[in-house]
Structures are given as C-alpha cells and as structure tokens.
Structure 1
Amino acid sequence: MANSTHLLPEIHWLRNSSPYIYAHRGKTFVISFSGAFILDTKFLYFVQDVALLYSLGIRIVLVHGAETQIENILTQSNLNLSEINGTQIIHSELLPHIKAALGTTRIELESLFSIGLTHSFMAGMSIQILSGNFITARPLGVRDGVDYCHRGEIRKIDINTIQQSLSQGSIVLISPIGYSPTGESFYLDREEIATEIAIAMSADKLIFMMQSTKIDSVSLPQELAPTGVTQFIQSYPKLHPSLITHLLNAAHASQSGVKRVHIISQDTDGALLMELFKRDGVGILITEAIFEDTKKATIEDVGGILELITPLEQKGLLVRRPREQLETEIDHFIVMERDKMIIACAALYPFAKEKVGELACLVVHPEYRKSGRATALLATIEKAAKQKGLTQLCVLTTQTFHWFQERGFTLSSLESLPENKRVFYNYQRNSKVLMKLL
C-alpha cells in the first residue's frame, strides 16, 4: 500500500467523504431551521452548503421558521403572543402580522439562494426554489377550555406535488402556515411540519438545525436508538425544552420510517457538511439501523481488514498477512463495523488439544483508539474461546504486553505455547508470550 501521508488534508477529506457523496445522491433530505438562524451571520454559509448538497444530486425540502421575525413585527405594533402549555394562541388581530412576517421571510430565503451564491464557491449555479400551499390545516380548536383561534395542526400534506417538484429539480421551501378548505389560514408548528413531511415521504434524512447553547448543557451521545430517547430525556431533567422537542420528533420520525434523523448545531460553520460527510459527525444521530456492530468476519470484510492492519505490518508491529492467507483464515476473525467501515478486528486461533486459543491481530483504527473498543473486542474473543471449550488464551506481542497485563494476562514462557504454535515461533521477532486463564 502506497504511503499517502504527504497528501494535503483536503485530499484525505475528499477521499473519505466520497462514499457519502455516492450514497447521498438522489436521496431526499428534509431540513428544518428557525427564524433566528436566518438572521444569523452564519446563515449565508448554510445556504451555500445547502446549494452544495443540491449540486451533488440531493433532493431537498426546506422547512423554515420565522419565530423571531414574528416577535419583532408584533413588538413594532405593540402586540404580543400569548401561549399556554407551550402552544401559542393566535388571535385574529395577530394573523395579518404573522402572515406578513412569514411572507417577508420566505422572500428573503428565495433571494438568498440567488444573490447569496453570487460571491461564493457556488457562483454560477442556478437553483429553482419552489413554495406553495402544500399543507391543508385545521384549527387546534378549544382544548381544556382554551380557544387557540388561528393556531392550527396539519390535516393533509400534498406529497405528490412536493415529489413532482423535487423530481423537476427544485428545492421545495415550506413555511409554517396552512390553509383550510374554506380559505382560513392557520399558523403551524415548524417541527411538526418537517417531521410529518419526512414521514410521509419516507425521507432518507430529517435534519433539525438548532442553537448549540441549547444542546451542549450535557454530554450528548453521538447516536441514539429511538427507543432510548425517552430514557435519555428522563436521565437529564435539565435538558433544554427545544432539545426535548427535537428528540421526541426525531424518535417519532425514526420509528415511522425515516432512515436517519440528525440534530445539528447551527452555531458551527460547516456543521451540516461535517455531519453528512464524515463517519463521525458533529451532531446527534437517531436511527433504528445498527450504526456500529461487532460480528464474525466474512470474505467481504477482507479489504477492510487489510486496510486496517497494513500500516502496522509496514511498521513491523504485526506479522504480515497476505490477502490470500487472510481470505483462507477469515473465519477466525471478528470485526467491529461502524457505518459500513471496519474500525477494529481480532482473530482467535484454537488449539483444541491443549484447550488454548491464540489471540492475534487485535487492531483498532487510530481514530477510535482509547475508546474501550479494544477491551470490548477482547471480551468478545474470550467469550468465543469459552464457547469452543478453551480454558486459556495466549498472545504474542512485541510492544503492547503491558496493555494485556492490565487485562489479566501474565508473562509466560515459550514452552507454554501449544506445540503447533511453538514450532513456528519467530525468534528474530522475539515476541513476548502472555497467557490468561479463562
């Protein structure tokens, strides 16, 4: 394998992101963002990043908010929004101002996808933004004695028209407002719109952009299964309410057929791209799919294992294993796979006569070391050895014997090795022998 350490970081990034560029092409992403983000100085870079996604063949639905814009226009008219249990009451006198704020915001967004790209790396690209009355709404009505007036909920989404617009090459832009069959207008919840559209379209991704100050108060997991969201929320009672809303909507979407849901900080420039084109993103991923798994290796894993172990073979830390040998011995290997990439491996070679198993080729990708994965892989090997009726593990190592000693191995002699292993001992490498009782 050629040495690529001389390459520019940009080349490494492009090569590492190429599987995602291929995987995302033709997929449907629904992206939700707030009105406050639109007013942020970093929003223009977000627009450029969305345009980049569009240029890569990704079908995009944008669901925008206008919360701050509505608040500002109401304040100018000496009006205020009231809410009960987190839901706004939209009186008739407020509705014209809300519609004005939404209209102005929508026009501003359409403009940004034109003039906002002129002086960027996406200059010269023509993007068609299409908006319309995609949502039929109905009033929330009177609940617990409270009349929510023109605050509504989704009755129906015109998915066919949205799909046709995407197929014709448009980015679909949706505002948080819906219309009844009788012509009334109702202000809707932006996150509910994004979630229900993603579900109805069986979208590949639903993405929530939110302020990092609302998501960094606790140590957040990189991935969550939708079934684990409620437990996570209960474990951290001080989570920001907006993060709780995102998580609950994400769990609902994931359990309803949306393949992956991402919650990403809007405060980090480029966070959208980092989340979508890196194996370990910068946000929270909610998915029912297994993102990381430990499994028996198959012949299809040979290439990934070679990529993992070759740098260590070149440094003399591992005995070289040609592809042909690895293909023959693949049944002895266990691998850790993260988002279709082999990030760790180990092999178990049993010697039934002595009831000893050799642990070999225990390797973890540099980006995932010091994460407990090597210890977890060792535990998997020990379990497999016990299932085979083995009573001891042996390992040969030149530099990592202290790591093994910390995990119950003891230094031993060459004579303690199984006979068929001992006769092939490489005296030139002078590896230390360690044993562990199971």
Structure 2
Amino acid sequence: MSLVFPHTFVPWFRAVAPYMHAYRGKTFVVAATGEMIAAGKLESLAQDLSIMHSMGIKLVLVHGFRPQVNEQLALKGHAARFSHGKRITDALTLDCAQEAAGQLRFEIEAAFSQGLPNTPMANATVRVVSGNFLTARPVGIVDGIDFMHSGLVRRVDAAAIRRAIDIGAIVLLSPFGFSPTGEAFNLTMEEVATATAVALQADKLLFLTELPGVREDLNDPESAIDTEMALADAKRLLGTLPPPQQPTDLAFYLQHCVAACEGGVERSHILPFAVDGAILQEVFTHDGIGTMVVDEKLESLREATSDDVGGILQVIEPFERDGTLVRRERTEIERDLANYTVIEHDGVIFGCAALYPYPESRTAEMAALTVSPAVQGQGDGERLLKRIEQRARGMGLDSIFVLTTRTMHWFIKRGFVQVDPEWLPEARKRKYNWDRRSQVLVKKLAGPATR
C-alpha cells in the first residue's frame, strides 16, 4: 500500500478545492478519439470522468472510432478511403462503423460500471445514457467525390441531452446520426462533439487527442505548449496552416476549437491522451497541460463583488494562519468589499488587495495584498499593486502605505521606503498594534499611469 504524505497531499487538495466549487453544475463535453481507446486508455478515462462526475460536473462523452473501423475494414479486405479530411463511407464501411460503434459503446459502459475496492470507481454509481440524439444529413458530392453514407450534423437534441445530464447521467454519443427517414450516417467525432457543445452552450469542450497541444514555436517540436490562446490568435494561426487531411495535422482539432468558441462555448481544449490524467491536470490546475482556446484572456483584474467574498477568504486564510496577515472576519470583508481588488483566472480568485483611504492625509493603506502560492512568481502581485496605485491616484492621493512583518524587501524593490510608525495618519496610528511591531513602508505616487 502506497503512503500518502500530508505535507504534499493537503496543500494539493486545498489547491484543487477552488476548482471543485467553480465547476459544480457546469457542463463539459469530452471528446475521446478512437486512438485513445485503442491505446488502452479507456479505463483511466472512465475513472477520471467518474471523479469529475462525483464533483457535480455534468458530462457528455463523445467517442471516436477511426482505428476500430479501419481494423474492421482490413479484416474484410476493404481499403479505407478518405478525402477532404473525411471518411468516404460506402455500404460495407457503414456496416463496419456500426459494428465498431456497438463494440465501443459496450466497452465504455462496462468501464463506467466498475466498482473495485481501492480504485477511483469504488462506491461510484455512474449511469450512462445513449440514444438517437443526433439528426444528420448527407455530405453529398464534393469536388466530384461522392461521400455516400458520410454525413454532417443537422441538429442536436439539446433538450433531451440536458434532461439526461440534469438527473445525473453521463450522456454517451457515438459518431452516428439519422435522417428523418431513418437513414444512418457516419459522422466525425470532432464535428459531433463541437455541435453538441455549441447546442448545449457547454462551459468546456475537451479533445483528448494524439497531439500535446499547440506549441509556442511550431517549427520546434520540443518547444513549450501554448497553454492559453485567445480566439483571435487561434484564428490567425489557423489561417496560416494548410487544410487538415488527418488528425495529426495541427489544424484538424484547432478548427473545431475555434468553431466551438465562435459558437458560444466558453473554452475549448486540445489535450494529449498519452499523459495519464491529462483531463484532470487540465481542469484542476492553474496552467493546465494542453492548449486552451478562449474568446478572451481569462485572467481578469477587477474590483470585488459580493460573489467574491468566499474566494477572498480562501486566498488569505493560509497567510492569516501563519501570521503573515492579520486575521479578518468574514463580516469585516463583507463590510469593506468596495475597497477590494481581485485577480481571477477561469472564475477562481487567485489574489486580492484592499485600499483604505485617509483623504485628510492624502494617503491610503494597501492591506491584504495576497497571491495564492499556486501562481506566485507570475506577476500577479505586481498587477494588483499597479491597480491599487491607479485607484489611489484616482482619489487624488499622494501616496500609499503598507504595514508588514514578513515582506518588507518585496515592497522596497517596488519603490516603497521604510518610515517610522509615527508617520501614520492619526486615525491609523490609533489602531497600530505596537506588540506586532509591523514595519511601515510608503510609496509616493507619480502622475497618471500610462501603458
């Protein structure tokens, strides 16, 4: 039996908690390629999705089956044919696709039915629902090529899917659709997942793929992954890439991420299925592991609202506990909420600071400047400081000051100078804790900031 070390487990669990709160009740569409299933990753995927389901995340799982269909065709001595990045589906290929889909659906349902002790599936009750949620139409003839039984999504029955996930089921979609006359069409997993995410206005669309994501330098296969791309940047990149012909082409998944975001899906992701737990790392860590396409940069620096009280408390509590910050009660934060600035990422508060003006002395105190350990070193502290300075200048103040016992050097590096506590405005001096012996540091404010 492996040992669990509290000094690593407890901080990790606390770091994950904000995402648990943020994602409860949200809808995610997860697209798993047939290559992922062929690589033996189905069981771990079921375990990870079961964990997310237990946290109250509503899930739709769309599976692919490219290699499985190719295998069936090979056994029958029939060549797989593709054009324009789509499979040409003749009658025999349609039979092979239906056979592969049936087998995969059976395997997926079995994976979600496991409940062995000492596994993530223990004590889990996950119901998988599938059905004819998709209406399709034929691709038709493109550039003289008849795609026969290959189809395109005409309509997603979003209301029926929503009813199923609202009662706690995971909806499983195969890449098949049916016409109003009952004719079956072979669809692409990527289009089904994108159309479903748009129809549901899902909070996330996640592709588990052969690709690690979009690299910062496309010419260097070892360069870092660009973990967050603005939609405009993704569209620009897509315009420079050749039309995709196969799933390993970067544009293949990127085009669907762009389409999803343009259709109202808040965030779309390209993740590597080769990394164990990739979906958990992407969803429950600050920077993730793959590439996320979003309509705008997620990091938001803004004034606090009543919805932020819990997030502020969660950020400052560890620093109050170790004595870095003076303890603040919830009622105090609620009372002074208009003084607070927060920095959030993906709906989670990662930093805060408060400004308490003393207009008679033309100065203000900056208090509770805090950045979560999970994101320290990324410049959030400086961004909060600049926003506080802007707010103080907007009030016509000449300086800001801080009281600190631990972080004197951080402030000195950013233009603060130490002064005697006697410098403090009279109203603040009366509240000064002489036993705590906090150092007082002051920064003179220049004219309006420019950028």
| Interval of TM-score (by shorter of Structure 1 and Structure 2) | 0.7 to 0.9
CA contact (8 A) 1:135 1:154 kept: yes
Equivalent in the alignment of 2:416:
409
1:390 aligns with 2:364: no
Aligned with 2:40: secondary structure? coil
Deviation at 1:334, TM superposition (A): 2.0
- 1:133-282 correspondence to structure 2 within 5 Å: 133-159=132-158, 161-163=160-162, 166=165, 170-181=169-180, 184-215=183-214, 218-231=223-236, 233=238, 242-277=249-284, 281-282=288-289
Partner of 1:293: 300
Q: Residue 355 of structure 2 aligns with which residue?
A: 348
> Shift of the alpha carbon at 1:380?
0.6
For 2:400 and 2:57, locate their aligned partners in 1 and report how far apart those are by CA, in whole Å: 50
Which piece of structure 1 moves more, 290-299 or 381-390? 290-299
1:370 paired to 2:377: yes
TM superposition shift of 1:113? 3.7
Distance 1:413 1:59, change over 3 A: closer
Q: Point out where structure 2 has 5 or more consecutive residues left out of the alignment.
A: 216-220, 447-451
Shift of the 289–141 alpha-carbon distance from structure 1 to 2, 3 Å rule, reads same
> Any conservation in 1 of the 2:22–2:347 contact (CA below 8 Å)?
no
Q: Distance in 2 between matches of 1:283 and 1:213?
A: 6
CA distance in 2, matches of 1:201, 1:193: 12
Cα distance in structure 1, aligned partners of 2:323 and 2:175: 61
Q: Which residue number in structure 2 is paired with residue 44 of structure 1?
A: 43
Q: CA deviation at 1:384?
A: 1.2
Asked if structure 2 preserves the Cα contact closer than 8 Å seen for 1:88 and 1:148, the reply is: yes
Change (3 A) 1:359 1:61: closer
For 1:278 and 1:287, how far apart are their aligned partners in 2?
16
Q: Which residue of 2 aligns with 1:337?
A: 344
- In structure 1, stretches of 5+ residues that fail to align are 1-5
Distance 2:210 2:273 in 1: 5
Separation of aligned partners in 2, 1:58 and 1:309: 27
Deviation at 1:124, TM superposition (A): 7.0
Identify the residue that residue 218 of structure 2 maps to in structure 1. none
- AA aligned opposite 2:339: H
Q: Which moved more, 1:175-184 or 1:419-428?
A: 419-428
* Matched residue SS, 1:345: strand
Deviation for aligned residue 1:356: 3.2
414-423 or 178-187: which moved more? 414-423
Native 8 Å contact 1:17 1:278 kept in 2? yes
For residues 247 and 351 of structure 1, the distance between their equivalents in structure 2, rounded to whole angstroms, comes to 52
User: 1:359·1:394 contact (CA, 8 Å) conserved in 2?
Assistant: yes
**Structure 1 residues 166 and 355: alpha-carbon distance in aligned structure 2, compared to 1, 3 A threshold:** closer
Q: Does 1:431 align with 2:436?
A: no
User: What is the deviation of 1:409?
Assistant: 3.4
Q: Which digits, 9 at most, give the CA deviation of each residue in 1:133-178, with x for residues without a partner?
A: 4433222222233333332212233445545555676543322233
RMSD, matched Cα: 4.0
Match of 2:61 in 1: 62
* Partner SS for 1:344: strand
Instruction: Name which of structure 1's ranges 9-18 and 426-435 shifts more when overlaid on structure 2.
Output: 9-18
Shift, 1:205, TM fit: 3.7
The residue aligned with 1:101 is 100
- Aligned-residue offset at 1:100: 3.4
Alignment deviations for residues 286-338 of structure 1 (CA, whole Å, 9 cap, x no partner): 45588543222356645544444454445444455555655554433322234
Determine what percentage of the aligned residue pairs are the same residue. 38
CA distance in 2, matches of 1:400, 1:14: 26
Whole-angstrom CA distance in 1 between matches of 2:241 and 2:432: 54
Once residues 161 and 175 of structure 2 are traced to their aligned partners in structure 1, the CA distance between those partners, rounded to angstroms, is 15
> Distance between the aligned counterparts of 1:408 and 1:38, measured in 2?
56
Aligned partner letter, 1:435: K
CA 1:296–1:214 in 2, change beyond 3 Å: closer, same or farther?
A: closer
Is the Cα–Cα contact under 8 Å of residues 66 and 102 in structure 1 kept in the other structure? Answer: yes
Q: Deviations over 1:348-370 (max 9, x none)?
A: 33343453333333221222211
Q: Which secondary structure does the structure 1 equivalent of 2:35 belong to?
A: helix
TM-score by length of 1: 0.79
The one-letter code of the counterpart of 1:43 is L
SS at match of 1:74: helix
Closer, same or farther: CA 363–47 of 1 in aligned 2, 3 Å: closer
**Comparing 41-50 with 242-251, which one deviates more in the overlay?**
242-251
Change (3 A) 1:27 1:118: same
After superposition, the Cα gap between the structure-2 partners of 1:437 and 1:19, relative to the gap in structure 1 and judged at 3 Å, is closer
2: distance between equivalents of 1:180 and 1:113?
A: 30
- Report deviation, 1:51: 3.7
